[in-house]
A and B are shown apart, each in its own frame.
Chain A
């Protein structure tokens, strides 16, 4: 049963992924990407990782892709714009990079998953089920004990990005004084 669902999901995911690449219309392309995100969330659900699945939808489908769509609509890319010289051979370089990425990922999976066999995964899941702790408890405990440094570093990185965005978006007049939104109303 699970195998049937998995392969159906797999087919739908690949279909949406192809839709992202092959659609001429950028809005439809973005919507296909939303479909891919939701299919990935469904895959997480199939692995019984409810928390990760819904975070996937909230963050990627609910926030990031809406911003993508927002920008696409504001730019209103209907016509094909003239391509600059460094983007002339996109198809060749894109294809080459994509294939390289695919082989690196395949090789990595081969190497790193050599030790983990399916019984080992089953043992982990059985252990979790036996302890009867919700996955979110396990996740959060790991995150604020074992992985606290990467967690904090990521937050600092995000904070830097936010401050950078504010600095870039802030406008100044000729004397270097800040232009406030309040002064521009009406």
Chain B
């Protein structure tokens, strides 16, 4: 295959450049194509799961078990007439769906889908494809290939920046439609996304503090369990940040529902109040773009949550694939010892093909299950939750996580027996502090938040017409 890159390299400055471009294009095709294929099936599963919750069969007409429903929905939208209502601000009206979709897909480039190939495995890969070791190899021009389209140093900031631009699309769609309900939807969306971005950032900062880096691969790397020469580490999942910062994980989950405008935070498109909200005046593929962006955004926040708190592509049990490959190749007779590379390849593909999709699927199920079971927030409840409850919790949690990291650093600085002897102590201190934070949250909820909730319910009850001194069923004190 070397001749191919030599040939292409004549046009873009060397075979290494050509190789990088080709690899990037393959990655883009795989990730973008994969996501676009998956979205119709997410929609199908959403409808199926909601129908199971409501005890009805759900979509079952098109294809066996209704599998074609999602795809046919897309086809239907594709062939519908595109209507531009009179009175819209034409340029902004056309621009809005584009502004929503582009950030969603750009953010996909950042998702670390699988491990970085480097060292002897990269050499083996280069050898397999017949590539020049000076171009691709441990000491070549390209000495590492990551299972992600790009890997900037400040990856998590990139994600935050790109997704924060997406809110313009929703706001502009609402404004340009020249429809007061759409405008209300757009304004609700922008206020909501700004409010919950703060909670989201506070949750992300906890994960950044624990890993000491803004790079997504470094964040996953800091959740890797040490192997110490063993072939398997069954408790590797204890190193995930979710156990060191459980409150940050919960805050992230709440904020990610709000950031993607999903139930119970779907005020921007509240059907009974706003007849669809910001996308009321959109039809055909323009509407489909909003729909697509919503699902891609769900995938992105799920991927970010698993990367930051659930170890990304790391499995709950760590295996040393080299040792297992050695073991497997010893099982078969020497003349068929081709099992070694197969097991190593399986080790590389287990993350991107099984573990990471499983984690994303878990969060997507959470999104859908919440939609099937939770009622929508009222606007003042939304703001109350975001500013008066989640923000203080996030700030206090941030300080507690900083203390966790400080203790971690102190242990590291004071230990004599090296990292090896003290690894249990490091892990135990992190887990203990995580448990303490969670306990504090539960106590705070039990003794402060519950009382505030009851007080608020009582005042709402009075607002319905009851007198101020009337004994209401909700008053606690």
Name A's B-contacting residues (CB within 8 A): 25, 27-28, 31, 34, 38, 41, 50-51, 54-55, 57-58, 61-63, 66-67, 69-70, 73-74, 134-136, 181-186
Contacts and interface: CB of A to CB of B under 8 A. Distances in A.
Q: Which of A34, A181, A184 counts the most B-chain CB atoms under 10 A from its CB?
A: A181
A73 B183 contact: yes
Given A57-B165, A181-B380, 4 more contacts: A34-B165, A50-B153, A70-B190, A135-B153
Given A31-B168, A185-B463, A70 B187 contact: yes
B464 interface: yes
A151 to B, nearest CB: 17
Band of interface residues on B: 35 or more
B168 A27 contact: no
A182 B457 CA distance: 9
Contact of B175 (A27, A54, A57): A27
> Which 8 residue pairs across A and B have the least CB separation, nearest first?
A62-B164, A186-B463, A57-B161, A54-B157, A54-B161, A182-B459, A50-B154, A58-B161
Contacts of B158: 54
A185 B197 contact: no
Most buried by A among B157, B183, B191, B464: B157
Q: At the interface, is chain B mostly helix, strand, loop or mixed? A: helix
Nearest to B174: A73
10 contacts: A31-B168, A41-B161, A50-B154, A50-B157, A57-B162, A58-B157, A61-B165, A66-B167, A73-B186, A186-B460
B164 A73 contact: no
Contacts of A67: 194
A61 B194 contact: no
Given A27-B92, A55-B157, A182-B456, A62 B165 contact: yes
Contacts of B459: 182-183, 185
A80 to B, nearest CB: 17
Nearest to B186: A73
A63 B194 contact: yes
A28 B92 contact: yes
B186 to A, nearest CB: 7
